[in-house]
Amino acid sequence: MKNKNNYILKVYVDSSFDPESKQAYCCYCLGGMLIDNKERTEFINLGKSSDSAYTEYLGIEKTLCKIEKYLRASNISKSKVKLIVYSDLQSFARQYNKWIPPPKDFKILSCYIRIMDLLSKFHKVDVRWVERGQNIAGKVLEKSDIIIKKNKDKKPGESKLTFGKIINF
């Protein structure tokens, strides 16, 4: 969505961690301003992780890196983009909005600092908490977990799901 030479970009992000295999995945759903007017839903293999909390922060960081790469390829300056991030990680939304202090765990804090650095380059940022049931990326991740667990060799990649299809799950 373009608005007076500025762009609005909405992203839903969620991550999943399997405590047995230590594998972590992230899913993000991108909408709003898109050059080709196509929504994007993509999975990111985060590799091995130590815990669920770290996986959530890492998922947000990797999603922001993907958005940065997309904007660079589209020749759009982040200074012209209003970014709205939807996450079911309530602590991150509260930390970003300065309602609670940043995380204390070193690994999570390092990731949080990198996230804040990535967000600082955007024209305006709004981080919103959404319940897991309302998180579009969470719904996609929930549906895909069955596929990932059944077919261990399958690597997550782009999904053909759209916001409209996800809402009707």
Question: Does residue 125 sit within a domain?
Answer: yes
Q: What single DSSP character describes residue 28?
A: E
Residue 142 lies in domain: 2-157
What lies within 8 Å, CB to CB, of 49 at 6+ separation is 17, 22, 23, 24, 55, 58
CATH code for position 99: 3.30.420.10
Nearest to 42 by CA among 125, 141, 119: 141
Digit-coded pLDDT (tens) for 3-55: 456 788 999 999 998 888 888 999 999 887 655 566 788 999 999 988 889 99
Question: Does residue 116 sit within a domain?
Answer: yes
Is residue 76 within 8 A of residue 69, CB to CB? The reply is no
Q: What single DSSP character describes residue 151?
A: -
Question: Does residue 169 sit within a domain?
Answer: no
Question: Does residue 94 sit within a domain?
Answer: yes
Give the count of beta carbons closer than 10 Å to the beta carbon of residue 55: 23
Question: How many structural domains compose the chain?
Answer: 1
What φ, ψ does residue 26 adopt, rounded to 5°?
-130, 150
Question: Does residue 37 sit within a domain?
Answer: yes
User: What's the pLDDT score for residue 110?
Assistant: 95
Please classify residue 12 by burial: count the beta carbons closer than 10 Å to its beta carbon, then call 0-12 exposed, 13-18 middle and 19+ buried: buried
Say which residue the tokens 């970014």 belong to: 83
User: What's the pLDDT score for residue 158?
Assistant: 46
The residue type of 158 is E
Digit-coded pLDDT (tens) for 53-69: 999 999 999 999 999 99
122-133 mean pLDDT: 93
Strand partners, 26: 15, 44
pLDDT band at 144 (very low <50, low <70, confident <90, very high): confident
Question: Does residue 90 sit within a domain?
Answer: yes
Residue 137 has pLDDT above 50, yes or no: yes
Say which residue the tokens 């890196």 belong to: 65
Question: Does residue 83 sit within a domain?
Answer: yes
Residue 71 has pLDDT above 80, yes or no: yes
